[in-house]
Structure 1
Amino acid sequence: MKLMWKYTMRHKKLLFFNFLCVFGFIIIELGLPTLLGRMIDIGVKQKDFDYVKMMGLFMLAIVAVGITLNMLLTYFGAKLNTSIIIDIRDDMFENMQTYSHQEYEKLGVSSLITRTTNDAYQVMMFLGQFLRLGFMTPMMFAASLYMIMRESASLSKFVFFAIPFLLLGVIIIARISEPLSEKQQKNLDKINMILRENLSGLRVIRAFVNEKFEEKRFDDVNENYAASSTKLFKLVAVAQPGFYFLFNIIMVLVIWFGAKQIDLGQLEVGKLISFIEYVFHALFSFMLFASVFMMYPRAAVSANRIQEVLDTVTSISENPDGVKETATQGVIEFKNVTFAYPGATESPVIRDVSFTANPGETVAFIGSTGSGKSTLIQLIPRFYDTTKGDILIDGVNVKDYNLTALRQKIGFIPQKALLFTGTIRENMLFGKADATEEDLHYAAEVSQATEFISQKADGYDELLSEGGANFSGGQKQRLAIARAIIRRPAIYVFDDSFSALDYKTDANLRARLKKETTTSTVLIVAQRVSTIMQADKIVVLNEGDVVAIGTHRELLKSCEIYYDIASSQLSEEELA
């Protein structure tokens, strides 16, 4: 409730109008039974039809005001509710943008999606009811009890007798529903995870004819979600008839004993009718509040999950006071760098790595799968932080940089060429928002993307579907490279970014990049030896250790691991 109240207090004006409408509506609702009782006891009983007419018109006017206030209450409640959820989702998204890879791995991408969508929706559903009924029903209940005592103290005992049973029922339901709600949301996380994996891996699933296996996997999780949901629905289904049963018993007792008091002349008909109306208001208000209260455990589970997202502090901060400018541009130095993923400090991915890369140099990394090549270069833009040792860029430790300034020095081309839904132009401008048309054409020409872009019907305004699925792997890689080139960074990092290119395009691209990056530092992770043969320095990795550093020719003679990799890919003439 703390989270919801904090966000509610951001909109005090809307909350004030919401409360004002609630207060006015309650006064009108509770005034009507009293007026009805007077109409019967004075007007009808004494056959004063002018009084009846006057009271009837007065009640109609009050009803009209009540309807207006109810409409305004609905409007202000909805406005306040949606404003709160907008703020929550904005803050969640903003905080998630600061997360490092470690936080995403800890919380899970599928879970973060669920928390931003479904959990926020659960909070919205609760607030929608609470802002309308949460204020109204307790006030209505309390005021109705006062009026019940005022109208007939002897009949009020039936209402007060029922209250402990009602409270006990609400508390029991709340305690049972909370763990069920938590289980339900966790199952929804799993549904989103499987669905996300299934849609992104659809081709692999079809290639291995594993549709039935995936269906079974999804069905199991879906059944678990349905089971916990069914238990919640059954709980509510049992609760409502139970409340109505008790409600009807009280009404029968009130009418029975009230009729006896009228027969004995101890109570007037009008007072009994108004008393019944107040009993109805009191019990119905309690039932409505109970329904809101029963929604609370589920909303509380969702609010706690949202709060976890908001409270999670990134392990790699922006460092606003960090270094933003340096005298040199592109000098990289690794000093005895060791890295292990969080929670696995006894099994480092890379160990004691040291090397230097200077502007104008191309430094390549090669090694067997799992040797730590991609992990190593992800430490440069601080996707992760080193466990031991230091990484210096232009003589400054990367941890001492302002994070934005550090990453603006780097043009990073990931292993998987991720493109965004939109046009080719928009994806290229992602690298530099203020790039000119000339910059676009130049970056496309260097990345060897001009030819296929010119063949598209809309050229640079050609639309990419989600993830660039309507483009080939080679086209996506070239666009990802163009996106980095357009910003003219001091450091280029290619994480196996040429793997989908044919040999001719690869050779043309590398030759063109050589001219483009004469003053930049280029780091390349590659599997193909032909891609890195011309590198100024090749770092050979094996199971996280640097086993050799040198040129292609030097390593062929001095490094057995490199020679084995090269001999499996190159001809005898190329090895000579």
Structure 2
Amino acid sequence: MKTILSYLSPYKILVIVALVLMLVELSVELVQPLLIAIIIDDGILAEDQQAIILWGSIMLGISFLAFLAGIINTYIASHIVQSYGFDIRQALFKKVQAFTMATFLKFPTASLITRLTTDVTITQNLIFMGLRIMLRAPLLVVGSIIMSFIVNPYLAMFLVIGAPFLVVFLYIMSRNGLKLFSKVQKRVDQVTRKIQENLQAVRLIKAYLRGNFESSRFASVADNLKVDNVKAFRIMELILPVLLFVMNVSLLAVLWFGAKEIQTGDVELGELVAIINYAMRMTGAFSMFAFIIIFFSRAKASSERMEEVLKVEEGIEIINEDSEGTTPGIGEIEFQHVSFHYPTTDLPVLKDVSFKVQPGSKLAIMGATGSGKSTLLNLIPRFFDTTEGTILIDGIDVKEWPLKELRKIIGLVPQQSILFTGSIEENLGWGDQAATEELLREAAKQAQIHESIEQFPDQYNTRVGQKGVNLSGGQKQRLSIARALVRKPEILLLDDSTSALDVSTENALWEALEEENATMLVITQKIRTAKGADHILLLEEGQVSAYGTHDELMKDSTLYKAIAESQQEGGEHDELHS
């Protein structure tokens, strides 16, 4: 937990103040039984009214002091905990943003969500308890034992008889608790992942009437969480009965032997009352130990999960935000014997791929599902690094380009159109925050979405729902293209980004894009789209099957010719099969 607790460093003065205030409360609680003993022995039994008033006033005064200390402590502890939560969430989010795609794939999305939400909250609760009662409980036990020996060593001996057993018992239970709650947090990840998956696929679930089936699958995952939670809490719930049993036995021993000592005159009544008071305080403190161990075990498990993210050192993208910028690129792209496989497998996705795209030209990339088309595009902005071979942009290895400068010259339109909650204008401006209103509208016109936007009641101020749920597939694709065009990129990567467009809209789009002085790599399944490209790259099982113009491939590539003939027979919108 060292890494997690280090985020409390900016608030160490406030932490010290909170702990001092907690010690003030503790000191008052430890002194009170001693004052009660004095009032009984020197006041009530001695029938001294002045002593009762004096010591009673002192008790009232220090109790008010403890009351004020408790209120201020709570206020400061709350401020520390909320500030800490903000800081560590920012640190976790920033670290995740810096992950390379290879590193990102090592952490399930649901797990990252849980770490940034539930795990942070659990550690916040631990810190708050630490500043309020977690340290106070063991200190109250130790302090009560010390004060008991000060009052009467003989009776105090009966309070500590079970102490060695309790120490060993609590140690064993805390270790078991840590293991169990680590398992519980993993179950929470699974539940979060299942919820996330179902919410994303809600339309498909409804369309296929699979609601009951998915509910049963969720019930299975939720049941696993319930079983592990019950197992963890059942073991933890053993703590309190055992602690109370041992303390009650000790308390009975104090009462039994204390009564005998009073009869012989070796112990005063006030001393016995004070010892009983300390025993009751110890019992109350021990009763909190069960909750403390539960909170600590859960927080320890959560902190280890957060530290796993924060301690990632390899697979981090370094982007210098203060770089001055480089000379605008011309957009030449060259693949030299590029091979690639994902970090999680040795199965090659691309094998010895070589080709060259001249600046300002358009390359259509075709191939069956799983042939490596999208992977090829992902290597250009260095979402992943090649396993073998070299990718050159303007004659420079992409690994030698500063990431910020490399990605500034690239406009990416992914296969799945991603839009953010906000207005249409904000989504378009997401491509370039410095873009003017005129530039946004120019990009929208090129992407053939301007007229559609103008028909909305709020036009460019129209709110886009989460992931663009209130827009059609074609509208989302065109907005994604416009967002990329706002950047005025030297290289434009389109990953099957016109699949939802009708023929006339797509033709108008390509005509508008001819005005762009950008090198375009277009993944497509349509022969008519490929025909408009300067060159066509045909991939088959990760290898270059053919490269050339449409006419050249019709002559030299049996596969391409078969695809073209099948689409002529089945219609222009048939998808590629092989």
* TM more than 0.5: yes
Q: What's 2:559 paired with?
A: 561
Unaligned ranges ≥5, structure 2? 573-578
Deviation track 1:264-292 (CA, whole Å, cap 9, x = no partner) reads: 11111112112222223334334434531
Q: What's 2:530 paired with?
A: 532
Amino acid at match of 2:363: V
**Preserved CA contact (<8 Å) 2:244 2:283:** no
Amino acid at match of 2:405: A
Pick which of 318-327 and 415-424 moved more.
Answer: 318-327
Deviation track 1:80-119 (CA, whole Å, cap 9, x = no partner) reads: 2222222221111000001122222211111111111112
CA, structure 1 residues 237+411, in 2 after alignment: closer, same or farther (shift >3 Å)?
same
Deviation track 1:110-152 (CA, whole Å, cap 9, x = no partner) reads: 1111111112222222222122223323333322221111111
d(CA) in 2 for partners of 1:138, 1:362: 72
d(CA) in 2 for partners of 1:327, 1:483: 19
**Preserved CA contact (<8 Å) 2:96 2:309:** yes
**Preserved CA contact (<8 Å) 1:316 1:384:** no
Amino acid at match of 1:530: R
**Preserved CA contact (<8 Å) 2:137 2:285:** yes
**Preserved CA contact (<8 Å) 1:366 1:373:** yes
d(CA) in 2 for partners of 1:135, 1:312: 32
Equivalent pairs: percent with the same residue?
37
d(CA) in 2 for partners of 1:486, 1:186: 42
Compute the displacement of 1:169 (Å): 2.3
Q: What's 1:238 paired with?
A: 238
Q: What's 1:189 paired with?
A: 189
Unaligned ranges ≥5, structure 1? none
**Preserved CA contact (<8 Å) 1:37 1:274:** yes
Amino acid at match of 1:460: Y
**Preserved CA contact (<8 Å) 2:177 2:293:** no
d(CA) in 2 for partners of 1:5, 1:142: 25
Pick which of 320-329 and 3-12 moved more.
Answer: 320-329
Correspondence 1:265 to 2:237: no
d(CA) in 2 for partners of 1:322, 1:541: 37
d(CA) in 1 for partners of 2:360, 2:103: 35
Q: What's 2:152 paired with?
A: 152
d(CA) in 2 for partners of 1:531, 1:493: 15
Q: What's 2:291 paired with?
A: 291
**Preserved CA contact (<8 Å) 1:323 1:400:** no
**Preserved CA contact (<8 Å) 1:170 1:294:** no
d(CA) in 2 for partners of 1:327, 1:55: 84
Q: What's 1:333 paired with?
A: 334
Correspondence 1:87 to 2:87: yes
d(CA) in 1 for partners of 2:364, 2:238: 68
- 1:363-442 to 2 correspondences below 5 Å: 363-442=363-442
**Preserved CA contact (<8 Å) 1:319 1:402:** yes
Deviation track 1:287-324 (CA, whole Å, cap 9, x = no partner) reads: 43453134322211111111111122352522649995
Q: What's 2:511 paired with?
A: 511
Compute the displacement of 1:10 (Å): 3.1
CA, structure 1 residues 316+334, in 2 after alignment: closer, same or farther (shift >3 Å)?
farther
Deviation track 1:38-71 (CA, whole Å, cap 9, x = no partner) reads: 1111111221212212222221111111111111
**Superposition CA RMSD, Å:** 1.9
Equivalent residue of 2:106, what SS?
A: helix
Pick which of 198-207 and 444-453 moved more.
Answer: 198-207
d(CA) in 1 for partners of 2:418, 2:329: 31
d(CA) in 2 for partners of 1:323, 1:65: 59
Amino acid at match of 1:342: P
d(CA) in 2 for partners of 1:173, 1:294: 9
**Preserved CA contact (<8 Å) 2:78 2:128:** yes
Deviation track 1:503-555 (CA, whole Å, cap 9, x = no partner) reads: 1100000111111x2x2111101111112211111111111111211111111
Q: What's 1:212 paired with?
A: 212
**Preserved CA contact (<8 Å) 1:26 1:140:** yes
Pick which of 160-169 and 364-373 moved more.
Answer: 160-169
d(CA) in 2 for partners of 1:572, 1:155: 97
Q: What's 1:548 paired with?
A: 546
Amino acid at match of 1:167: V
Aligned residues: 571
**Preserved CA contact (<8 Å) 1:25 1:70:** yes
CA, structure 1 residues 130+290, in 2 after alignment: closer, same or farther (shift >3 Å)?
farther
**Preserved CA contact (<8 Å) 2:177 2:236:** no
Amino acid at match of 1:567: E
Pick which of 216-225 and 250-259 moved more.
Answer: 250-259
Q: What's 2:48 paired with?
A: 48
TM-score under structure 1 normalisation? 0.95
d(CA) in 1 for partners of 2:105, 2:201: 19
